[in-house]
């Protein structure tokens, strides 16, 4: 049985320990110690990383009552090793986990919302609430939680029998737990049964930032970051926003307005481009139609291979041709290093576009399909893609 030093002192990140077992496993060696400062993944908190002597510890897990340190090198059973936890990683996890308690408490205390799920992964933490909070309520929750941090309240760990839980006002009472329970308490604030490593004072969490909130089942999933992770995130986003402002030659606060303006300009240019393209197609239409082949049912089949065409323009051309009477059309164009094709026909034409698409698939070694009145696909491009396209008429 490994003595869990991390349970009583979350700031003890080094110790001397004796190796009691070392077994080869999938990605290295599973090492057991007589005592450890390494927190094994659990209760929503991620595993510690660090070193055991010269061996790197990549993960720690509690399996069947044993704490296993997964290492890249074997260690001699009976030897004494120096166990060193990566303090940056540990403090990150302590900040996120403690922040999770504080934020959950704020949502419960202010709006009676219960935390029913907690998930921590590298760089992102989420809690699930059993009710949805409005943006204003979320801001109030965030403010309240940060104030708990700025007041730098003491945090204590205590051990109580499960029968004593009724003596505490707690947001989350797990009635399935029995025996001696570990309570993590913020003075004048949150009390919660928890196995994680927490700082001694709330101030160590630094800050809490809600990143997003989205509807989840009957309630809400809130993504947030604390401490160093919150700082890193803000720094990254600030840099992105500053760069965007420089590209648009506006101050960062003016970026949304500038983007809105740009979107308007693009929409206007697209409308003008569409108009010009339609006029160009109108002018080219007689030439396209002159190459049409008459099908057995009397309808005409035309293959058009416009240059410098994108999917949106090809679609416009297809609509233009199929709006005319008695036509089946194949539009073949090159874009993004591929030959793309689409087939459609006028109302009343008795042709199956999928058959023509299949033929194009064969010609261009491509893939695609659709419905009897519309089919599309794409294949490999070659120098002579336009000549190949016209073999569709044969």
Considering beta carbons, is residue 120 or 213 the nearer one to Zn ion?
A: 120
Return the ∠ at Cα 213 (arms to 207 and 216), rounded to 5°: 135
Tokens matching residue 129 = 């609430």
Q: Rounded to the nearest whole angstrom, what is the least distance from the CB of residue 360 to Zn ion in the complex?
A: 60
Radius of gyration of the chain (CA): 33
> Secondary structure of 334-393 in the HEC alphabet?
EECCEEEEEEEECCCCCCCHHHHHHHHHHHHCCEEEEECCEEEEEEECCCCHHHHHHHHH
Q: Which is nearer to Zn ion, 229 or 385 (CB)?
A: 229
By C-beta, is 7 or 137 nearer to Zn ion?
7
Task: Give the per-residue contact string, 176-195, with Zn ion (x = CB under 5 A; - = no).
Answer: ------------------x-
**Considering only residues 254-293, where is the footprint of Zn ion by CB under 5 A?**
none
Could you tell me if 46 and 120 are in contact, meaning their C-beta atoms sit under 8 angstroms apart? yes
Nearer to Zn ion, 182 or 315 (CB): 182
Residue 155 · residue 189 · CB < 8 Å: no
CB closer to Zn ion, 125 vs 351: 125
Q: How far is CA 134 from the centre of its chain?
A: 23
**Please, what is the minimum distance in Å from the beta carbon of residue 112 to Zn ion?**
20
Look-up of token digits 């029998």: 161
- Minimum gap (Å) between residue 97 Cβ and Zn ion: 6
One residue of 99, 196, 219, 379 binding Zn ion per CB under 5 A: 196
Q: Give the nearest residue (CB) to Zn ion.
A: 194
Size of the site for Zn ion (CB under 5 A): 2
Q: Is 377 in the site for Zn ion (CB under 5 A)?
A: no
What residues from 283 to 342 belong to the interface with Zn ion (CB under 5 A)?
none
CB 198, min distance to Zn ion, A: 8
Q: Which stretch binds Zn ion (CB under 5 A): 119-127, 196-204, 208-216, 253-261?
A: 196-204
| Nearest distance in Å: CB 64, Zn ion | 22
Minimum distance of Zn ion from residue 185's CB (angstroms): 12
Q: Least distance in Å: CB of 154 to Zn ion?
A: 17
Asked if residue 185 lies in contact with residue 34, where contact means CB atoms within 8 angstroms, the answer is no
Q: Which residue has the tokens 């704020």?
A: 106
3-state secondary structure of 143: helix
d(CA 361, CA 384): 16
By the criterion CB under 5 A, which residues form the site for Zn ion?
194, 196
């Amino acid at each position: 049985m490994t003595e869990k030093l991390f349970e009583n002192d979350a700031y003890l990140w080094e110790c001397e320990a004796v190796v009691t077992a070392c077994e080869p496993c999938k990605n290295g060696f599973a090492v057991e110690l007589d005592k450890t400062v390494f927190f094994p993944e659990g209760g929503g908190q991620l595993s510690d990383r660090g070193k055991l002597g010269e061996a790197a510890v990549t993960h720690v897990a509690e399996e069947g009552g044993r704490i296993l340190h997964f290492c890249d090198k074997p260690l001699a059973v009976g030897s004494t090793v120096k166990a060193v936890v990566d303090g940056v990683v540990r403090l990150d996890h302590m900040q996120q986990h403690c922040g999770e308690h504080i934020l959950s408490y704020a949502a419960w205390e202010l709006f009676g919302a219960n935390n029913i799920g907690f998930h921590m992964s590298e760089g992102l933490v989420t809690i699930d609430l059993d009710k949805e909070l409005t943006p204003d309520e979320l801001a109030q929750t965030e403010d309240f939680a940060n104030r708990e941090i700025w007041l730098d309240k003491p945090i204590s760990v205590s051990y109580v029998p499960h029968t004593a839980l009724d003596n505490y006002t707690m947001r989350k009472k797990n009635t399935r737990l029995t025996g001696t329970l570990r309570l993590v308490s913020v003075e004048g604030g949150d009390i919660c049964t928890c196995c994680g490593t927490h700082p001694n004072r709330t101030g160590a969490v630094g800050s809490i930032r809600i990143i997003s909130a989205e509807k989840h089942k009957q309630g809400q999933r809130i993504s947030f970051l604390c401490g160093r992770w919150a700082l890193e995130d803000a720094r990254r986003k600030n840099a992105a926003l500053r760069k965007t402002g420089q590209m648009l030659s506006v101050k960062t606060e003016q970026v949304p307005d500038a983007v809105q303006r740009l979107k308007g300009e693009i929409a206007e240019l697209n409308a003008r481009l569409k108009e010009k393209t339609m006029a160009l197609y109108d002018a080219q239409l007689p030439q396209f139609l002159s190459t049409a082949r008459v099908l057995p049912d009397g309808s005409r089949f035309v293959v058009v291979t416009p240059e410098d065409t994108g999917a949106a323009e090809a679609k416009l051309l297809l609509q233009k041709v199929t709006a005319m009477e008695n036509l089946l059309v194949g539009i073949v164009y090159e874009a993004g290093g591929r030959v793309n094709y689409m087939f459609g026909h006028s109302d009343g034409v008795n042709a199956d576009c999928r058959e023509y698409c299949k033929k194009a698939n064969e010609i261009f070694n491509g893939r695609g399909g659709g419905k009897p009145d519309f089919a599309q696909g794409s294949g490999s491009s070659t120098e002579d893609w336009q000549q190949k396209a016209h073999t569709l008429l044969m």
